[in-house]
Structure 1
Amino acid sequence: MSRNVEEVEESVPTITSSSRTRIRRRPDPFLVACRCFSFVTCLAAILCIVVNIVSAVRSFRHGSDIFDGIFRCYAVVFAFLVVLAETEWSFIIKFWQVSEYWAARGMLQIFVAVMTRAFPDYFGERKELVTFQSMASYLLLACGVVYVVSGVLCIGFLKRSRQKQEITVEQAAKDLEELEKRREELEQLLLGERV
């Protein structure tokens, strides 16, 4: 019996005061996927901005398509709002709280995609621009549909709760490291007083 107790005592790891505990966490795969999707959506919105700016400049140059140029300017403004919503800055969310809801964000993206695709070149003069318009608008349209479906399924709520949990865990790790530093400082002070 005493032999078993000795074996158990030897197998228990001892923690020394000089060892520092380091908490290593893996990033949440769900949040990483959400960030990647947000990046793709930003990229699609930026492509829509570029296409609409080029189309607006061409429309204003010819002078005959002034309404198309004005329409393209509005599309640029709304696409810029999509990019701002995807950054999820606290300042933006504070003043524009509807961007927090994924279904609303998806509807805005679908609206921008439709605005980008509207008024194609029927005369065949700008085939490369029409191709670029189609790519940008369909990519943003796909992102918008995914956002609307995810919003209906309350995936945005799940993302926000996981973000809060991640922030809480990070804060706890920082607090633990700070306490470890203070404990070491106190031990050094106590050892200095004993000597």
Structure 2
Amino acid sequence: MPRNGEEESEPRASSSTRVRARPDPFLVACKCFSLLTCLAAILCIAVNILSAVRSFKNGSDVFDGIFRCYAVLIALIVVVAETEWSFITKFWQVLGYWTGRGMLQIFVAVMTRAFPDYLGKEKYLVLLQNIACYLLLACGVVYFVSGILCIGFLKRARQQQEITREQAIKDLEELQRRKEELEQLLLPERA
């Protein structure tokens, strides 16, 4: 091993050297939280669809059904925003910021919780509404607070570092492969 800036005198075998990038634990945690948020939003979608169907089927509360349809559409936007698809963040730039996402998630959670079954006929539906609502509400609050603390900026910076690191690894592997090819071309000349 070289010391104090000295170079190695023995060349390393390039074929045995493989560089592996370790995943950033912070980015892994962000992806897991994003998945949890997606699942909570999907649960909100399912609950709102069930509530809308019940409202339209009974015919007594059409406004609740229409309200639930809007909740489904906005919850779909939450799910798509969690994919961080550049097409969506390009047109809705506020969804690129964690405070904006958090506010949208809190809004969907409140819409999901609105108009509960006061008569107690659909207890399973009220239970599902509560679970979906509070789960998405918690995710929204975490996003909002994290956005205020600029954690989203930190995530984007780490993502950029990871992309740069992955590109450097690809370039290094390409250089190693090219070096091996050139060494193979030189072997016949040495013999």
* Alpha-carbon separation, structure 2, partners of 1:141 and 1:16: 55
1:99 aligns with 2:98: no
Match of 2:4 in 1: none
1:35 aligns with 2:43: no
1:27-106 alignment to 2 at 5 Å? 27-106=23-102
1:72 maps to a residue whose letter is R
1:91-170 alignment to 2 at 5 Å? 91-170=87-166
Bigger shift: 19-28 or 161-170?
A: 19-28
**Count of paired positions:** 184
**What TM-score results when the alignment is normalised by the length of structure 2?**
0.92
Q: Is the 8 A contact 1:48 1:76 kept in 2?
A: yes
Using the aligned pairs only, state the percent identity.
74
Q: Give the secondary-structure state (helix, strand or coil) at the position aligned to 2:72.
A: helix
Return the offset for 1:35. Answer: 0.5
Structure showing greater Rg: 1
Structure having the higher helix fraction is: 1
* Alpha-carbon separation, structure 2, partners of 1:180 and 1:90: 33
Aligned CA RMSD, in angstroms, stands at: 1.3
Cα displacement string for residues 140-175 of structure 1 (whole angstroms, at most 9, x for unaligned residues) = 000000000000000000000000000000000000
Q: Give the secondary-structure state (helix, strand or coil) at the position aligned to 2:16.
A: coil
Check 1:13–1:60 CA distance in 2 against 1; reply closer, same or farther (3 A cut): farther
1:20 aligns with 2:22: no
Q: Give the secondary-structure state (helix, strand or coil) at the position aligned to 1:158.
A: helix
Check 1:13–1:25 CA distance in 2 against 1; reply closer, same or farther (3 A cut): farther
Q: Is the 8 A contact 2:14 2:176 kept in 1?
A: no
Segments of 4+ moved more than 4 angstroms? none
Q: Structure 1 unaligned runs (5+)?
A: 1-11
* Alpha-carbon separation, structure 2, partners of 1:126 and 1:184: 69
Return the offset for 1:19. Answer: 3.6
* Alpha-carbon separation, structure 2, partners of 1:38 and 1:136: 15
**What TM-score results when the alignment is normalised by the length of structure 1?**
0.90
* Alpha-carbon separation, structure 1, partners of 2:37 and 2:189: 61
